[in-house]
């Protein structure tokens, strides 16, 4: 007995929904106006053949424009079927266009935005290496409805070049497949010659494909490959027919894509265009065998629909777009408009045969959706449908058109074509088409009814239409860019488990000893309370600076592996340009999922409040990177009061929209907390576990604090930095943060004079700076107290893991760029606390933020999970190295996810659940660092470290005995230096680190002063 199926179909006047119980599929009747009368032939589902030609231009079939091509078999389909002149591919290039046909969804939803190439090229363009097999698939839906399904021809959705672990085509719902070098499973690979029939050679991409294995490979003359596909398709049809099964097959030839190899008699004058026309004619001959096979069988002819279209616009010089502007790769009409022919003598309305439909605007995703409707097949309810059911148009019953706009985004590698900037986004709504940049700039508006060739930009005449369409295009882009679909199986598996909530409190530039429970004089009672109920780490590492540390935290990878090898800010543009590698981007790579994206698929509600600093463009904001709710400072620093008295506002975003703070009554640390608490309240309503990333910008410069907090520290720092440092060190010994064997690193004042040599006003100013810094930390601690109270109040504190961390050590940077004369700490001032105080923050370690000495890369770290940590472990310290990149795999483990590699690449971090529960870890792991030439490698007791200044060379320290890096052992242990330097080098190559001296060589004059 089959399960109940709900069949949705239209009667003559009404939409009728029927419940059908049947052992075989029962069907009563469909489009009364259509010739295809299934009531006469019950239990027959229509057969479907989709012929997708590769790179054919809009005008390449004579019915669509150019009279020169000789395609008599396709012409005959046109004579007997319906030609659609307003049909579009959903992308101007192979892979995403094909993904749209397979899924019926916009391909950007699946991270397929350009042609799939090598692993490295895909990474560079932030694309997935293959279409996620979890994607909705037309084939799978039809397969489960009883269809025999086959894919014969070019795939290009994963499994070519150097990507051998992609899923097989049969993993997407196809019973059988035969493809070429851009896919796995059985494949036929092309032999080519010098167009004289002699000395055939294997095409290099074919050789690469053969090396991947995973299927039978055979070689055939490129001229004959479409025939091989057609023969296999015909065999498949015969076998399905013999079984009484309806079939859905793709026949997707690739021969009109370059390289062009027509038979000798069709080579014309040998020009690219003539070769192309020869290949087109040769393809038509071979497809003709398939068309004739269907036509000659009465049973098949009356019950089969053949669709012919192209996957994208023409390649310049080869195919033709007629008078349409643009070509393959761009979003003008010539890049995305395609011929569409629908043939089915037994299925189309009789009067529609041989007609042209110039009214219906439609695209591949709509055809895919319509085919499901024609096959009367239920669509799973859980997926987001981008296509519309235009089956009545396809069958010639009427000329309905899409009700909602169509959207496109350009391939990431096609920002320019022939030196011309190409528009990023396009939208077509009715007769209007708008092309704009990702940020909405440079609008071009065309009236396609009057001006199909896009010659007259009407943007200035119609600002309201521009505004409306721009809003829609940007919203579409934000919504579809690289989203992970919830993994239903994971979600279901986890629902019963009592998974902890997770709160990560990340402080910015907070030094190792800046909180009370690590020895500070700064009052942090709430943070100390966390430590008393949880564990403190002695060796918790970060990546020395804001962007790289945050990238590691978000992904569980080294920053270079996710495009954050350098800072993403404007000042580092020259570094990124000099490095010229995907590992040095200006935002967190979209190719690697964030921990929020992964936890969200596992049923967590994902919340963020605070500093982001992983991408400035809207599509790179936290709202687009997996956070259900977010209130974010987008860049790296802000005015805590929300802006200067007369100056610019800060760059904040609330749930993905720009947010302007009020002129008065705003203080960032308070606002971030308020918002975080509000998000928590919402999360409690929906009864999901939550992940809250609370990323305070405190105590990063500028030194800003409310006067009442600064007042708490009046006079505290008058004794100077060395006195404070000594006092901290004494408390650290008392608390057990460090043991007696350790010596403090030397005081590092940079070019500032010793305290006792400063004039009184200088001392007063320096002391004041630290008072404000301390006030920033205290204000943050007060707010953390409010957050903890909220967890208690709502009864979730026991099963919530709260971690307190810092992204890097105290900062030696010393900006002075506020209003001259503004009072230190006030809204119009903009200062840092300078290198001497940074050294105090990092007591007892050496150096500061940016460097790879311990003062740069090791901060305070507390984990408090009352319900998950044994009572005897509370208040204890744990030893052994841990790292920000351990958090992603740790949280996956806590969320009960057994798959520790959401994108197929392994985490670099490792789970530290044991450490959170109070167990020290061995120091056997290897950790490496690189930031702007500062580098280090640590394994066990040894640490090799170098400053960016190349003259300094490698230094070697015994971390067990000398963690403050005072005695350089490089000269006495050259073998350790050699071994570690080699291991560092291997790591650098593996992760895409470009040697700093190579980057320095390309440093432009303008930045030489830095």
Catalytic residue numbers, as ranges: 546, 613
| Rounded least distance, CB 773 to Ca ion, Å | 14
Q: Which of 369, 386, 487, 509 binds Ca ion (CB under 5 A)?
A: 509
- Complex with Ca ion: residue 393 or 842, whichever CB lies closer: 842
| Rounded least distance, CB 887 to Ca ion, Å | 16
Q: Determine, following the binding rule CB under 5 A, whether residue 638 of this chain makes contact with Ca ion.
A: no
Prior bond of 851 cis (ω within 30°): no
Closest CA to 772 of 722, 727, 738, 822: 822
Interface pattern 663-702 for Ca ion (x via CB under 5 A): ----------------------------------------
Burial 406-445 (b: 16+ CB within 10 A, else e): bbbbbbebbeebeeeebbbbbbbbeebbbbbbbebeebbb
- Complex with Ca ion: residue 387 or 832, whichever CB lies closer: 832
| Rounded least distance, CB 311 to Ca ion, Å | 4
| Rounded least distance, CB 743 to Ca ion, Å | 27
Q: Determine, following the binding rule CB under 5 A, whether residue 338 of this chain makes contact with Ca ion.
A: no
| Rounded least distance, CB 994 to Ca ion, Å | 23
Q: Determine, following the binding rule CB under 5 A, whether residue 55 of this chain makes contact with Ca ion.
A: yes
| Rounded least distance, CB 506 to Ca ion, Å | 9
| Rounded least distance, CB 657 to Ca ion, Å | 26
List the beta bridge partners of residue 615: 587
Which of the stretches 89-97, 145-153, 674-682, 821-829 binds Ca ion when contact is defined by CB under 5 A? 89-97
Query: CB within 8 A of 420, min separation 6: which ones?
Result: none
- Complex with Ca ion: residue 212 or 546, whichever CB lies closer: 546
Contact criterion met (CB below 8 Å) for 190 and 203? yes
Q: What angle do CA 488, 490, 496 make, to 5 degrees?
A: 105
Q: Determine, following the binding rule CB under 5 A, whether residue 312 of this chain makes contact with Ca ion.
A: yes
- Complex with Ca ion: residue 673 or 808, whichever CB lies closer: 808
Q: Determine, following the binding rule CB under 5 A, whether residue 336 of this chain makes contact with Ca ion.
A: no
- Complex with Ca ion: residue 636 or 689, whichever CB lies closer: 636
Question: Residue for token digits 């167009």?
Answer: 195
- Beta sheet of 425-429, edge-to-edge order: 406-409, 425-429, 432-436, 444-447
> In the structure, how many helices (H) and strands (E) does the chain have?
27, 36
Query: For the chain, how far is it from start to end, CA to CA, in angstroms?
Result: 76
- Where are any strands of DSSP class E within 324-401? 337-343, 355-357, 362-363
| Rounded least distance, CB 165 to Ca ion, Å | 24
* CA–CA dist 956, 974 (Å, integer): 9
Contact criterion met (CB below 8 Å) for 664 and 706? no
Closest CA to 234 of 186, 283, 290: 290
Q: Determine, following the binding rule CB under 5 A, whether residue 256 of this chain makes contact with Ca ion.
A: no
659 C-beta neighbours (distance < 10 Å), count = 18
Q: Determine, following the binding rule CB under 5 A, whether residue 60 of this chain makes contact with Ca ion.
A: no
Report residue 14: phi and psi, to 5°: -115, 160
43 C-beta neighbours (distance < 10 Å), count = 12
- Complex with Ca ion: residue 392 or 613, whichever CB lies closer: 613
What tokens were used for 570? 């404007």
Q: Determine, following the binding rule CB under 5 A, whether residue 114 of this chain makes contact with Ca ion.
A: no
Q: Which of 38, 45, 49, 54 binds Ca ion (CB under 5 A)?
A: 54
| Rounded least distance, CB 53 to Ca ion, Å | 8
| Rounded least distance, CB 312 to Ca ion, Å | 5
Q: Determine, following the binding rule CB under 5 A, whether residue 254 of this chain makes contact with Ca ion.
A: no
536 C-beta neighbours (distance < 10 Å), count = 24
- Complex with Ca ion: residue 93 or 469, whichever CB lies closer: 93
Contact criterion met (CB below 8 Å) for 243 and 148? yes
Q: What angle do CA 558, 560, 561 make, to 5 degrees?
A: 70
Q: Determine, following the binding rule CB under 5 A, whether residue 508 of this chain makes contact with Ca ion.
A: yes
Interface pattern 861-880 for Ca ion (x via CB under 5 A): --------------------
Interface pattern 752-781 for Ca ion (x via CB under 5 A): ------------------------------
- Complex with Ca ion: residue 466 or 553, whichever CB lies closer: 553
Which of the stretches 2-10, 303-311, 719-727, 1001-1009 binds Ca ion when contact is defined by CB under 5 A? 303-311
Q: Determine, following the binding rule CB under 5 A, whether residue 333 of this chain makes contact with Ca ion.
A: no
* CA–CA dist 168, 177 (Å, integer): 9
- Complex with Ca ion: residue 46 or 810, whichever CB lies closer: 810
Which of the stretches 121-129, 157-165, 304-312, 883-891 binds Ca ion when contact is defined by CB under 5 A? 304-312
Q: Determine, following the binding rule CB under 5 A, whether residue 357 of this chain makes contact with Ca ion.
A: no
Which of the stretches 8-16, 273-281, 305-313, 918-926 binds Ca ion when contact is defined by CB under 5 A? 305-313
Interface pattern 795-824 for Ca ion (x via CB under 5 A): ------------xx----------------
Q: Which of 25, 94, 290, 425 binds Ca ion (CB under 5 A)?
A: 94
Interface pattern 517-546 for Ca ion (x via CB under 5 A): -----------------------------x
* CA–CA dist 806, 505 (Å, integer): 8
DSSP string, 528-583: HHHHHHSEEESSEE--SSHHHHHHHHHHSS-GGGGTBSS--SGGGHHHHHHH-STT
- Complex with Ca ion: residue 253 or 844, whichever CB lies closer: 253
| Rounded least distance, CB 92 to Ca ion, Å | 9
What tokens were used for 509? 């530039």
Closest CA to 716 of 781, 669, 806, 778: 778
Closest CA to 319 of 280, 358, 349, 362: 280
| Rounded least distance, CB 453 to Ca ion, Å | 22
Q: Determine, following the binding rule CB under 5 A, whether residue 962 of this chain makes contact with Ca ion.
A: no
Which of the stretches 55-63, 370-378, 598-606, 621-629 binds Ca ion when contact is defined by CB under 5 A? 55-63
- Complex with Ca ion: residue 603 or 834, whichever CB lies closer: 834
- Complex with Ca ion: residue 583 or 697, whichever CB lies closer: 697
Q: Determine, following the binding rule CB under 5 A, whether residue 514 of this chain makes contact with Ca ion.
A: no
* CA–CA dist 325, 316 (Å, integer): 11
Question: What number of CA atoms fall less than 13 Å from residue 871's CA on the CB side?
Answer: 0
Closest CA to 236 of 484, 110, 69, 47: 47
* CA–CA dist 510, 861 (Å, integer): 11
* CA–CA dist 841, 721 (Å, integer): 10
Q: Determine, following the binding rule CB under 5 A, whether residue 311 of this chain makes contact with Ca ion.
A: yes
Which of the stretches 297-305, 311-319, 646-654, 678-686 binds Ca ion when contact is defined by CB under 5 A? 311-319
Contact criterion met (CB below 8 Å) for 79 and 62? no
| Rounded least distance, CB 650 to Ca ion, Å | 17
Which of the stretches 42-50, 54-62, 83-91, 643-651 binds Ca ion when contact is defined by CB under 5 A? 54-62
Q: How many residues sit in the footprint of Ca ion (CB under 5 A)?
A: 10
Cα separations in angstroms, 776 against 507, 509, 704, 980: 11, 12, 7, 40
- Complex with Ca ion: residue 255 or 509, whichever CB lies closer: 509
Residue 3 gets which letter from DSSP? P
* Interacting residues toward Ca ion by CB under 5 A: 54-55, 94, 311-312, 508-509, 546, 807-808
């Amino acid at each position: 007995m089959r399960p109940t199926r709900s069949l949705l179909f239209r009667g003559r006047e009404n939409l009728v929904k029927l419940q059908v119980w049947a052992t075989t599929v029962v069907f009563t009747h469909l489009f009364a106006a259509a010739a295809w009368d299934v009531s006469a032939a019950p239990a027959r589902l229509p057969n479907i053949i989709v012929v997708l030609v590769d790179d054919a231009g809009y005008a390449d079939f004579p019915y669509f424009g150019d009279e020169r091509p000789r395609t008599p078999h396709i012409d005959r389909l046109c004579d007997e079927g319906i030609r659609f002149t307003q049909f579009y591919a959903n992308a101007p290039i192979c892979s995403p266009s094909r993904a749209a046909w397979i899924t019926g969804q916009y391909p950007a939803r699946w991270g397929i935005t350009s042609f799939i190439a090598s692993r490295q090229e895909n990474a560079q363009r932030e694309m997935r290496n293959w279409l996620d097999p979890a994607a909705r698939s037309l084939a799978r839906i039809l397969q489960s409805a009883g269809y025999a399904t086959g894919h014969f021809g070019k795939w290009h959705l994963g499994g070519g070049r150097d990507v051998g672990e992609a899923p097989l085509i049969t993993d997407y719902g196809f019973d059988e497949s035969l493809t070429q070098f851009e896919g796995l499973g059985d494949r036929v690979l092309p032999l080519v010659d010098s167009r004289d029939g002699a000395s055939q050679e294997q095409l290099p991409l074919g050789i690469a494909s053969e090396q991947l294995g995973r299927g039978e490979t055979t070689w055939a003359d490129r001229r004959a490959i479409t025939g091989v596909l057609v023969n296999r398709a015909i065999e498949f049809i015969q076998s399905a027919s013999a079984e009484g099964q309806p079939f859905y097959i793709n026949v997707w030839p690739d021969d009109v894509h370059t390289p062009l190899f027509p038979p000798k008699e069709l080579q014309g004058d040998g020009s690219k265009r003539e070769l192309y026309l020869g290949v087109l004619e040769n393809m038509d001959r071979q497809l003709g065998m398939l068309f004739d096979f269907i036509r000659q069988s009465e049973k098949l002819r009356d019950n089969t629909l053949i669709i012919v279209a192209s996957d994208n616009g023409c390649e310049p010089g080869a195919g033709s777009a007629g008078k349409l502007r643009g070509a393959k790769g761009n979003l003008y009409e010539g890049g995305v408009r395609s011929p569409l022919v629908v043939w089915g003598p037994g299925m189309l309305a009789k009067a529609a045969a041989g007609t042209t439909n110039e009214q219906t605007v439609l695209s591949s995703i709509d055809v895919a959706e319509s085919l499901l409707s024609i096959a009367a097949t239920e669509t799973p309810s859980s997926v987001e449908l981008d296509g519309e059911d235009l089956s009545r148009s396809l069958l010639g019953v009427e000329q309905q058109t899409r009700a909602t706009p169509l959207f496109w985004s350009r391939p990431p590698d096609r920002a320019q074509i022939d030196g011309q900037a190409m528009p990023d986004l396009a939208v077509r709504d009715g007769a209007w088409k708008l092309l704009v940049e990702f940020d909405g700039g440079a609008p071009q508006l065309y009236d396609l009814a009057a001006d199909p060739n896009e010659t007259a930009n009407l943007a200035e005449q119609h600002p309201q239409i521009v505004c409306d369409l721009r809003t829609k295009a940007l919203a579409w882009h934000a919504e579809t860019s690289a989203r992970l679909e919830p993994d239903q199986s994971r979600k279901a598996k986890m629902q019963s488990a009592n998974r902890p909530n997770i709160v990560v409190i990340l402080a910015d530039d907070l030094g190792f000893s800046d909180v009370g429970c690590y020895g500070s004089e700064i009052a942090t009672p709430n943070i100390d309370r966390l430590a008393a109920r949880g564990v403190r780490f002695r060796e918790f590492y970060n990546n020395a600076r804001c962007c790289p540390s945050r990238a590691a935290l978000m992904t569980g990878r080294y920053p270079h592996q996710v495009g954050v090898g350098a800072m993403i800010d404007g000042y580092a543009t020259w570094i990124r340009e000099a490095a010229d590698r995907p590992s040095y981007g200006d935002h967190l790579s979209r190719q690697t999922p964030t921990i929020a994206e992964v936890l969200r698929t596992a049923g967590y509600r994902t919340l963020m409040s605070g500093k982001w600093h992983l991408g400035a463009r809207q599509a790179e904001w936290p709202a687009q990177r997996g956070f259900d709710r977010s209130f974010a400072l987008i860049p790296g620093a802000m005015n805590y009061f929300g802006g200067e008295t007369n100056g610019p506002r800060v760059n904040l975003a609330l749930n993905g929209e720009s947010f302007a703070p009020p002129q008065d009554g705003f203080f960032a640390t308070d606002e971030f907390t308020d918002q975080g608490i509000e998000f928590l309240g919402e999360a409690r309503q929906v009864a999901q576990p939550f992940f809250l990333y609370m990323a305070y910008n405190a105590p990063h410069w500028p030194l800003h604090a409310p006067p009442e907090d600064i007042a708490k520290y009046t006079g505290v720092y008058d004794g100077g930095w060395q006195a404070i440092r000594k006092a901290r060190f004494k408390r650290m010994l008392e608390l057990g943060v460090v043991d007696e064997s350790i010596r403090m690193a030397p005081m590092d004042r940079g070019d500032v004079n010793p305290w006792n040599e400063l004039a009184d006003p200088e001392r007063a100013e320096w002391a004041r700076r630290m008072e404000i810094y301390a006030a920033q930390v205290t204000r943050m601690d007060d707010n953390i107290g409010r957050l903890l109270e909220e967890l208690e109040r709502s009864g979730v504190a026991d099963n919530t893991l709260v971690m307190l961390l810092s992204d890097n050590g105290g900062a030696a940077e010393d900006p002075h760029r506020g209003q001259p004369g503004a009072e230190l700490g006030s809204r119009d001032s903009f200062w840092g606390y300078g290198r001497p105080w940074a050294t105090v923050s990092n007591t007892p370690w050496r150096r500061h933020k940016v460097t790879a000495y311990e003062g740069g890369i090791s901060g305070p770290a507390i984990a408090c999970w009352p319900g998950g940590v044994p009572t005897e472990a509370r208040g204890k310290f744990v030893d052994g190295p841990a790292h920000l990149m351990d958090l992603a795999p740790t949280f996956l483990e806590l969320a009960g996810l057994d798959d520790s590699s959401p994108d197929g690449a392994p985490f670099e971090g490792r789970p530290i659940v044991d450490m959170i529960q109070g167990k020290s870890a061995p120091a056997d792991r290897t950790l490496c660092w690189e930031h702007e030439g500062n580098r280090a490698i640590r394994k066990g007791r040894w640490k090799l470290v170098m400053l960016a200044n190349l003259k300094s060379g490698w230094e070697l320290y015994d971390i067990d005995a000398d963690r403050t890096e005072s005695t350089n052992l490089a000269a006495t242990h050259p073998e350790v230096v050699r071994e570690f330097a080699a291991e560092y080098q291997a790591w650098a190559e593996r992760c895409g680190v470009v040697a700093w001296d190579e980057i320095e060589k390309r440093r432009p004059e303008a930045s030489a002063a830095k």
